[in-house]
């Protein structure tokens, strides 16, 4: 992963209530009780996050945890009470409204839970709409819209209206519309939560396919841990407006930073998260049954390793970094690890 930072928030607060800005100036490090006594609600509290170029960064938490408010602060759709938000090295809080509008139109794509398609426009016209707003000539914007409509698998439905589409197809139009401007940063706020389970899984597959092709920087909100571990490079877990931990999915499960994160991940199917690298042991003996990638999950290799007589080599970047044994895999599968 490219480790250059594209988006960063530094000590970001969003308080709702009277005189919130003045309160923070007088009480720069308030506790939860201080907010309540002042009649304030801490929707986001002292958030610090770095998002790397090209990664899928998932923000998750239960309803009311502050995840959607934080994402809206990151794009300044909601004005933070305090802190700094840097996009491509520049503080968004110093930008004028006109500059912000231009950044959102040309560099940020957004997909929300509500599809918000324009009912009087066709699939192609909905996908082209952001380019129409930018003043892109008609032939050019329709050609670009055709590209993204095909990219999301809706070729042949360009002339349909939203009412003629299924929920999953409508969400694909929303995704196509957000991609039309070729954003550097893509925000998705629970985009699949309104879909039934089968369509949701299909849309996750589609999302993974698109990311493998486009390599976008993505900030993705969900309350579903299974969805998060399937999609994320890293995850931020939020509670009561505060970020509890930022880590790779595997690290959240194996090394939770707080009791809340431990409880949040307690019932996760660990075989879906833990990789061969986490179970790799020093090499011993000369007999091996094969080789598995270090990044492979135990779910994907468990049957092979469990059924084999000898351990498997674990390979990373063309080098053998250790071995994985049958007993280690069984420990994960039965919940001992």
What is the DSSP code string of 210-227? HHHHH--EEEEEES-HHH
Question: Under a CB-based contact definition with an 8 Å cutoff, are residues 83 and 29 in contact?
Answer: no
Rounded Cα gap, residues 278 and 323, in angstroms:
11
- Tally of CB atoms within 10 A around 68: 20
The tens digit of pLDDT for each residue in 310-326 reads 999 999 999 999 999 99
Q: What angle do CA 167, 152, 136 make, to 5 degrees?
A: 105
Q: If you average pLDDT over residues 16-44, what whole number do you get?
A: 91
Rounded Cα gap, residues 22 and 3, in angstroms:
36
The tens digit of pLDDT for each residue in 180-207 reads 888 889 999 888 887 788 888 888 888 8
Question: Under a CB-based contact definition with an 8 Å cutoff, are residues 191 and 219 in contact?
Answer: no
Question: Under a CB-based contact definition with an 8 Å cutoff, are residues 258 and 245 in contact?
Answer: yes
The tens digit of pLDDT for each residue in 132-184 reads 988 899 999 999 999 999 988 899 999 999 999 988 889 889 888 888 888 88
Question: According to CATH, where is 3.40.50.300 located in the chain?
Answer: 54-68+96-269
Phi-psi sector, 156: left (phi>0), alpha (psi -120 to 50), beta: left
Rounded Cα gap, residues 96 and 183, in angstroms:
20
Percentage with pLDDT > 90 across the chain: 66
Query: What are the tokens at 115?
Result: 């599809």
Domain covering 54-68+96-269 in this structure, CATH number: 3.40.50.300
Which residue reads 């930008």 in tokens?
A: 95
Rounded Cα gap, residues 74 and 77, in angstroms:
8
Which of 50, 27, 57, 31 is closest to 42 using CA atoms? 31
Fold held by 271-333: CBS-domain (3.10.580)
What is the predicted pLDDT for the residue at 219? Answer: 95
Query: What are the tokens at 252?
Result: 């959240």
The tens digit of pLDDT for each residue in 109-134 reads 888 777 688 999 999 999 999 899 88
The tens digit of pLDDT for each residue in 41-96 reads 999 999 999 999 999 999 999 889 999 999 999 999 999 999 999 999 999 999 99
Angle between helices 167-179 and 138-151 (to 10 degrees): 130
Q: Which residues of 184-212 are buried (b: 16+ CB within 10 A; e: fewer)?
A: bbbbbbbbbeebeeebbebbbebbeebbe
Range list of H helices, 4-113: 20-26, 32-37, 67-74, 97-107
- Tally of CB atoms within 10 A around 26: 10
Confidence of residue 327 (pLDDT cuts 50, 70, 90): very high
Phi-psi sector, 89: left (phi>0), alpha (psi -120 to 50), beta: left
Confidence of residue 1 (pLDDT cuts 50, 70, 90): very low
Rounded Cα gap, residues 152 and 128, in angstroms:
14
Rounded Cα gap, residues 64 and 62, in angstroms:
6
Rounded Cα gap, residues 294 and 173, in angstroms:
37
Question: According to CATH, where is 3.10.580.10 located in the chain?
Answer: 271-333
Q: How far lies 69's CA from each of 81, 148, 211, 235, in Å?
A: 12, 29, 25, 16
Question: Under a CB-based contact definition with an 8 Å cutoff, are residues 13 and 78 in contact?
Answer: no
Largest CA distance in the chain: 70
């Amino acid at each position: 992963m490219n480790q250059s930072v594209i988006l960063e928030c530094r000590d970001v607060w969003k308080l709702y209530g009277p005189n919130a800005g003045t309160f923070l100036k007088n009480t720069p490090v308030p506790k939860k009780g201080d907010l309540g006594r002042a009649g304030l609600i801490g929707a986001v509290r002292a958030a610090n996050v770095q998002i790397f170029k090209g990664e899928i960064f998932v923000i998750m938490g239960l309803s009311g945890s502050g995840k959607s408010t934080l994402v809206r602060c990151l794009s300044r759709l909601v004005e933070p009470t305090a802190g700094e938000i840097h996009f491509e090295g520049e503080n968004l809080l110093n930008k004028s409204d006109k500059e912000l509008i231009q950044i959102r139109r040309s560099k940020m794509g957004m997909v929300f839970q509500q599809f918000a398609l324009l009912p009087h426009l066709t699939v192609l016209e909905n996908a082209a709409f952001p380019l129409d707003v930018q003043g892109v000539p008609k032939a050019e914007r329709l050609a670009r819209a055709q590209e993204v409509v095909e990219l999301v698998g809706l070729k042949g439905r360009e002339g349909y209206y939203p009412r003629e589409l299924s929920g999953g197809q409508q969400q694909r139009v929303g995704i196509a519309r957000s991609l039309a401007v070729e954003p550097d940063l893509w925000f998705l706020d629970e985009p699949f939560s309104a879909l039934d389970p089968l369509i949701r899984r299909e849309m996750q597959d589609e999302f993974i396919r698109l990311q493998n092709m486009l390599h976008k920087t993505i900030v993705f909100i969900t309350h579903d841990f299974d969805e998060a571990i399937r999609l994320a490079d890293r995850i931020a877990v939020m509670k009561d407006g505060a970020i509890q931990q930022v880590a790779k999915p595997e690290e959240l499960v194996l090394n939770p930073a707080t009791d809340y994160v431990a409880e949040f991940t307690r019932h996760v199917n660990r075989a879906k998260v833990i990789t061969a690298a986490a179970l790799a042991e020093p090499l011993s003996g000369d007999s091996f049954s094969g080789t598995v990638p270090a990044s492979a999950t135990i779910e994907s290799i468990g049957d092979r390793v469990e059924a084999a007589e000898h351990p498997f080599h674990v390979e990373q970047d063309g080098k053998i970094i250790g071995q994985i044994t049958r007993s280690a895999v069984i420990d994960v599968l039965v919940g001992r690890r």
